[in-house]
Amino acid sequence: MLVKSNVQVVLAVFIIVFCFYALAFLTLDNDIRIVFAGYIGSVIGFYFGSSRSSQLKDENKKSNQ
């Protein structure tokens, strides 16, 4: 059974893999590369962000289940 938090993790990994693939193998303008790099940073920052707010993230995940 898929839980909402599992779907979020799978989606985040998919986004990161796709962005790294686009940065490595596709010929893109520099502006688009900056957007993909920023998006990767946002996704990674959300899941591996500051430990000060990790307790709040855990509480939000528990309340969403």
**How sure is the predictor about 7, in pLDDT bands with cuts at 50, 70 and 90?**
confident
More confident residue, 57 or 14: 14
Range of the domain at 51: 4-64
Q: How many CB atoms lie within 10 A of CB 19?
A: 19
- Quote the number of domains for the chain: 1
Determine the average pLDDT of the residues in 4-28.
Answer: 83
**Which structure tokens are listed for 54?**
């990790």
**How sure is the predictor about 4, in pLDDT bands with cuts at 50, 70 and 90?**
low
State residue 50 phi and psi, 5-degree precision: -60, 140
Residue with tokens 């693939």, as numbered in its chain: 21
The confidence score (pLDDT) of residue 50 equals 59
